[in-house]
């Protein structure tokens, strides 16, 4: 049972109010009825504000995919470093004590990969084991925790860093002209998070990872992902996702909890990737959850928007910082992403 020793987040400084995003998108969509009719979606996302790596006005200028991706490489490295340094300070860990680093992202491209760039900037050991993870999308933060847990189960004296950084704002292009593109503008924000894990023999208290599972659903690859175009990435996001959560994801999650000796009745803390308003409504109906149980996800969505893979790690960091969890409390982390896939962890304080 590897343990989570510390968790930190890094949110960029530039605030975007949803009212500004709505107004500017309405202006950009003038004369396009198929997009104009969707502007009210900005009022139904549950998002009040988001934080971006640039001032909101920066995004109103036309920029090539090359320019946006170069900004991604620079800003992602900067934000990820901030999250990691805070995590190491919180745990009292030095960089030469890190044995593994898992870096997950889906909103930009860079080679050498971010894990290599981070290892150099942070001064990690030359023999640190690096695992870059791309394409897990919104499930990536939870998925990286599971993969780090697998490694530490076999190496109980070692420590692993899990880092997620997502800059969804840099996907935006004024050439994007589909309803799904507009929905993406209404939902996604920028952020990073870092989590330090230790094996059983590493000193210190932590949140135990008691049980994990990954589930890849058949015949669902069309539901979520990216299309890669000469102008960059284009969001793929099916309106069928809430239905699938209710009919196919829910039984898998119930089975996972049963195998872990748990049920929703004795889960104290629900760290559920927020997705969007319809997905959260489905969580409530399919899992029988109260508004209080969904409060962590809703608050994350309200303050930061959809942070993709970083969302569940930011929620975990904020929950730990709140001081609310007590010894013996149980938690469920659930994130859904392209594939279509679910990543699940049962945790114990």
pLDDT in tens, 308-318: 999 999 999 99
Q: Is 300 a catalytic residue?
A: no
CATH no. for 207-348? 3.40.47.10
CATH fold of 3-198 reads: Peroxisomal Thiolase; Chain A, domain 1 (3.40.47)
Rounded-to-integer distance, Cα 147 and Cα 161, Å: 11
Q: Which residues of the chain have pLDDT under 70?
A: 176
Cβ distance 307 to 314 under 8 Å? yes
Query: Which residues of the chain form CATH 3.40.47.10?
Result: 3-198, 207-348
Paired strand residues for 10: 192
Cβ distance 324 to 349 under 8 Å? no
Cβ distance 308 to 283 under 8 Å? no
pLDDT of residue 279: 84
Segments of the chain assigned E as strands: 3-10, 14-17, 49-52, 100-105, 129-134, 159-167, 190-198, 207-216, 224-229, 232-237, 269-272, 330-337, 341-348
**Catalytic residue of the set 87, 138, 149, 300:** 138
As a whole number of Å, the CA-based R_g of the chain is 19
pLDDT of residue 25: 87
pLDDT of residue 296: 93
pLDDT of residue 259: 94
Q: Which tens digits make up the pLDDT trace of 226-240? A: 888 888 878 787 778
């Amino acid at each position: 049972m590897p343990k989570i020793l510390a968790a930190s987040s890094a949110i960029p400084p530039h605030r975007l109010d949803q009212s500004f995003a709505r107004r500017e998108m309405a202006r950009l969509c003038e004369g396009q009825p198929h997009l104009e009719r969707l502007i009210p979606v900005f009022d139904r996302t549950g998002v009040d504000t988001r934080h971006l790596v640039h001032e909101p006005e920066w995004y109103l200028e036309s920029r090539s995919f090359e320019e946006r991706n170069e900004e991604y490489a620079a800003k992602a490295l900067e934000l990820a470093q901030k999250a990691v340094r805070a995590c190491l300070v919180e745990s009292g860990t030095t960089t030469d004590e890190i044995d593994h680093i898992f870096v997950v992202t889906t909103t930009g491209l860079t080679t050498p990969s971010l894990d290599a760039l981070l290892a150099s900037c942070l001064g990690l050991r030359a023999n640190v084991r690096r695992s870059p993870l791309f394409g897990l999308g919104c499930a990536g933060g939870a998925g990286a925790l599971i993969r780090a847990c697998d490694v530490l189960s076999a190496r109980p004296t070692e420590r692993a860093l899990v880092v997620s950084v997502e800059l969804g704002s840099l996907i935006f292009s004024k050439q994007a002209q589909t309803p799904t593109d507009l929905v993406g503008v209404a939902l996604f924000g920028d952020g990073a998070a870092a989590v330090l894990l230790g094996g059983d023999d590493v000193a210190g208290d932590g949140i135990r990872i008691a049980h994990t599972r990954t589930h890849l659903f058949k015949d669902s690859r069309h539901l979520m992902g990216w299309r890669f175009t000469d102008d960059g990435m284009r969001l793929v996001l099916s309106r069928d996702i809430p239905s699938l959560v209710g009919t196919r994801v829910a039984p898998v999650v119930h089975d996972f909890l049963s195998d872990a000796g748990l049920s929703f009745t004795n889960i104290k803390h629900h760290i559920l990737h927020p997705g969007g308003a319809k997905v959260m409504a489905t969580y409530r109906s399919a899992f029988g959850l109260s508004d209080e149980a969904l409060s962590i996800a809703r608050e994350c969505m309200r303050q930061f928007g959809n942070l993709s893979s970083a969302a569940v790690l930011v929620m975990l960091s904020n929950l730990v910082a709140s001081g609310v969890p007590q010894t013996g409390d149980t938690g469920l982390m659930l994130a859904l992403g392209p594939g279509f896939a679910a990543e699940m962890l049962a945790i114990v304080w």
